[in-house]
Each structure stands twice: as structure tokens, then as C-alpha cells.
Amino acid sequence: MDWKSKRLTVRQGIWQVSRSDVRVIGVKSHRSERPISLVDEEIALLRDLRRHQAALRLQAGAAWQDGGLAFTDDYGRPLDQYRLRRSF
């Protein structure tokens, strides 16, 4: 995330092999990295999410798994696609 230029670059994705096996994988090639320009409202939402994650990280303590992901569960792990679908 480049906060100054308001651009997000996707460098990794999630591959859910099974219910209990969720893996963070890189994009297929350097050309697959795609910058996304964001508007002020999106930047504000991502900053709020970042603050929320910082609070979760403090609560989780040693259980926090820092993978550098923007969207995680309460312990820093990748989101499970099944739980994510249910929440929507």
C-alpha cells in the first residue's frame, strides 16, 4: 500500500486448498502485480481497518500470525472463504 500516492498493489493472493488449509501465494508473474488507484473514502476505510488490526494484534498477543495481509481474521490468519461468504 502506498498511502501517499493512494495506490494499492496486489502482490499475493489466497488459495484455499481445503477448509483447514489456506495458503498465501504470490501472483503468477511480475506482470500480474496490478496497481489499483483508490479514492479518499477507500483510503479512510483501509486506515480504519489497519487501526482495527493493530488492536486485534494486541489482544491476540503471541497468537497473532503476521503475514502482512490487509484482510485477516482476529489472529492475523488469511480469511476462510467459507466464513467470508457466510458473513455476506
Q: How many domains does the chain have?
A: 1
* pLDDT for residue 29 is more than 90: no
**Residue 75 pLDDT:** 92
Instruction: Provide the domain limits for residue 79.
Output: 7-87
> What is the pLDDT, as a whole number, of residue 80?
79
Cα(55)–Cα(50) distance, integer angstroms: 9
40: enclosing H helix or E strand: helix 40-60
Is 21 a member of any domain? yes
Domain membership flag for residue 2? no
Return the amino acid letter for 32.
Answer: S
Q: Is the pLDDT of residue 42 over 90?
A: yes
pTM of structure: 0.74
With respect to residue 1, please indicate whether it lies within any of the assigned structural domains: no
